[in-house]
Amino acid sequence: MLESMNYKLFIFSLFIFLLLSSCGDNLGFFNNRKSGEEFSDPQEAKLRKYYSRLEKRKTSLGLLRQDGGGDDTPFDVDDIVEVFEQLAFYNEYDIDKNKLLPNSNAVSLAKWKSNTNIIVRFGDSVDKRQKNKDLQEINTLVSNLSKITNQKIKVSQQNVNTYVIVANQKEIKNLIDEISSQRPEFDPKRIPIITQLPKEIHCVAMTSMSSEPNSAISSALVIIRNELPDLMRRACIHEEIAQSLGLTNDSHFARPSIFNDDDEFATLTKFDEVLLQILYDDRLYPGISKKEASQLVRQIAKEITISL
């Protein structure tokens, strides 16, 4: 979610594909800051004020809903199929160093085949109270996503392949530098935009996979600004962690959904759950094309909606 648009990026290298989505306008690493302790950073204070005002404006317009949709947001099989194809087989932008380039080419399906083991890294600016709150939100979401997809997704410090960073602007670069020493696919020297986020980008999700045919997602990186207020922060956690599972695009046809840059919904909806169930149906394999998947997606959607 961006205030005005949503950046979706596709990056190619000789060995690795990177899919990057952003949202704009468990066990983790803890430090010894106490709840309520002041963190003096003029830039952080300025951004906190900006995002607080933005959240108030959005909620005053009826945006950032947390009700999952209802009678005012009906959907059918045709809606599901159309939106799934937009989310799973397209990316809005390519990236050239630190430039965003329009992209309308279809891509192959991306999903995890291995277990998804998530670790949460906090910057020093995140106090203990906020850490506990964020971890509770992440753990609850991850447990829900695991049930929806029937995929083993958990917060862990073992065999980590997904990194969630919660930090302020200054801390993000240092944490990514540490991670990239183990995961070179996230080297900020190759993709500087992830450590130089403009304030319009609130959060980012990036997934990587081998460039070999039919490769699955092998790692992911999620960045969430600590400067965000509660509801925008929750929206970022839901959208970016969900998108790191493979639905990396957005669509203005997606409703009710967090995969829509209109910011109407802040938290995962029933429609989003259906989309994720389709993505992780065994009949859809990593690397399958839109054309090959078309009839399968419709069949799976029909099967799911019968039980709704």
pLDDT at 1 over 50: no
pLDDT, position 169: 86
Compute φ and ψ for 86, nearest 5 degrees. -70, -40
Min mean pLDDT across 22-26, 201-205, 215-219 is at 22-26
pLDDT at 4 over 70: no
pLDDT, position 9: 38
244 contacts: CB under 8 Å, gap ≥ 6: 162, 205, 206, 207, 217, 220, 222
Burial degree of 210 (CB within 10 A; 0-12, 13-18, 19+): middle
pLDDT at 230 over 90: yes
**Residue 140 CB: number of other CB atoms within 10 A?**
12
pLDDT, position 263: 94
Q: pLDDT digits over 14-42, tens only?
A: 345 666 676 777 434 333 444 333 445 78
Q: Are 191 and 100 in contact (CB under 8 A)?
A: no
Q: pLDDT digits over 268-280, tens only?
A: 999 999 999 999 9
pTM for the full predicted model = 0.88
pLDDT, position 194: 83
Q: pLDDT digits over 138-174, tens only?
A: 999 999 999 999 999 999 999 999 999 999 988 999 9
pLDDT, position 307: 80
Per-domain residue ranges for the chain? 9-306
What tokens were used for 194?
Answer: 């992830």
| Average pLDDT value for residue range 79-107 | 78
251 contacts: CB under 8 Å, gap ≥ 6: 82, 83, 86, 87, 257, 259, 260
